[in-house]
Each structure stands twice: as structure tokens, then as C-alpha cells.
Amino acid sequence: MAAVRTSNCRTELGDVTPHNLKQLRKLNTVVFPVTYNDKFYDDVLGLGDLAKLAYFNDIVVGAVCCRVDTSENKRRLYIMTLGCLRPYRRHGIGGLLLAHVVKMAKDDGNINSIYLHVQVNNEEALAFYQKHGFRIKERKERYYKRIEPADAFVLEKEVKDLLAITDN
Ligand code: ACO
């Protein structure tokens, strides 16, 4: 596991396995307004290092799930979910998860960019991703079917700029 220790606190990333999949599901249910279906969680088990849980002193407090996307004639890493339980926010856990995604993109060697959708009113996530150098590419109207506001911003970061993310 990749681990970061600050004073007496230990933050580390771990694999998603059939044994802890329920914890990922619980976390996502609390953190995101969107409900992910059984297929999402079945597929997560096949993602390998593109899905990780974040542990804070051995408690699951965050997670990221990505997939390789080959639409628009590009090979991109798409962040499906990246989140952290509210009491543990602003302690660098989101940053640790994003740094892992960046490492995956760099190590792949053939990824053009990292991108994601975010609800237009999600100021926390917008501040987080913009702090890490992501830029708003477009606004997708009525992107979400069951939540309001339904519009999403597409945020993207080119791989050639990825070095700057880990330097932040
Ligand atoms: N307001 C302003 N800036 C912020 C905020 C905020 N609420 N949150 C993070 N940032 C910026 C800051 O610059 C922060 O650095 P600082 O604390 O030194 O000032 C920097 O981002 C890094 O913050 P972290 O502590 O690494 O991030 P955190 O662990 O709080 O996670 C996250 C950020 C993932 C966005 C969290 O707020 C969260 O889980 N939100 C709910 C789920 C969500 O909306 N996820 C993104 C949806 S899009 C998607 O998943 C693809």
C-alpha cells in the first residue's frame, strides 16, 4: 500500500477486493448524490489499480474509481468517482487519490488526458480539481438524469501538464 504519515495519522491506499467492496458501496452512497448500480460495482473488481480505497488510521474514508476511455479518438483516463467522507476532508486524502490517478496515467505512457464530470454547483470539487490544474472544457446540459442541477462541467487535464499536478 502507498502510505503517507503525518504526526500520528497514517493515510494509505489499498486495493478494492470482493471482501471490501461493500465498504466502497457504503462510502459512495454517503459521498455522492448519484446511486451506482450493481454492474458498476461488479466492473470495479476488474479495474485493478484504477480503483483504490483510502484508509485513515485503518478506516476507509475515501475512494477513487477510474476507467480507460477511448472516445473522441483519444485514450483518456476517466475518473468515475473520487470522494472522501466529509469529516476527513481538507486533510489531503482527495489529493492522495488524485496523485494515484496521475501516476496511473503517467505510468501507462499512452494516455492523452484525465477527465471527469462534476455537477455545476459542486464548488468543493471544482476548487479541488482546479487547484490541481484541471480546466473546465465544456458544460453538458441535462447530463444527470435524477439530480438537480442536472448540468455538469467536464473538467480535463492534459497529460503533458501532469508533472505540475504532482508538484502542487
Ligand atoms: N473549498 C476550497 N478548496 C478546496 C476545497 C473546498 N471545499 N476542498 C478542496 N479544496 C482544494 C484546496 O486547495 C485543498 O488544499 P488546502 O486544504 O491545503 O487548501 C486542495 O483542494 C486539496 O484538498 P484535499 O484535502 O486533498 O481534498 P479532500 O480530501 O478534501 O477531497 C473532494 C476533495 C474529493 C472534492 C471532497 O471534497 C469530496 O469528497 N467531495 C464530495 C465528493 C465529490 O464531490 N467528488 C468529486 C465529484 S466529481 C467525481 O467524482 C468525478
Which run of H or E residues covers position 154? strand 152-158
State the catalytic residue, choosing from 55, 78, 115, 129. Answer: 78
- Each residue of 21-79: pLDDT tens digit? 999 999 999 999 999 999 999 999 999 999 999 999 999 999 999 999 999 899 999 99
Residue nearest (by alpha carbon) to ligand 1 atom 42: 83
Question: What is the pLDDT averaged over residues 105-110?
Answer: 92
Q: With bands split at pLDDT 50, 70 and 90, how would you rate the model's confidence at 167?
A: very low
Q: With bands split at pLDDT 50, 70 and 90, how would you rate the model's confidence at 3?
A: low
Would the pLDDT of 84 be above 60? yes
Alpha-carbon span 14 to 2, nearest angstrom: 8
One-letter identity of residue 116: L
- Each residue of 123-155: pLDDT tens digit? 999 999 999 999 999 999 999 999 999 999 999
Q: Is 19 a catalytic residue?
A: no
Q: With bands split at pLDDT 50, 70 and 90, how would you rate the model's confidence at 7?
A: low
Is 93 near ligand 1, meaning CB less than 6 Å away?
Answer: yes
Give the number of other CB atoms < 10 A from CB of residue 85. 17
Residue nearest (by alpha carbon) to ligand 1 atom 24: 92
Pairing mode of beta strands 76-84, 113-119? parallel
Closest CA to 51 of 100, 107, 102, 124: 100
Residue nearest (by alpha carbon) to ligand 1 atom 46: 125
pLDDT at res. 1: 59
Would the pLDDT of 168 be above 80? no
Q: 119 by DSSP, 3-state: which?
A: strand
pLDDT at res. 9: 78
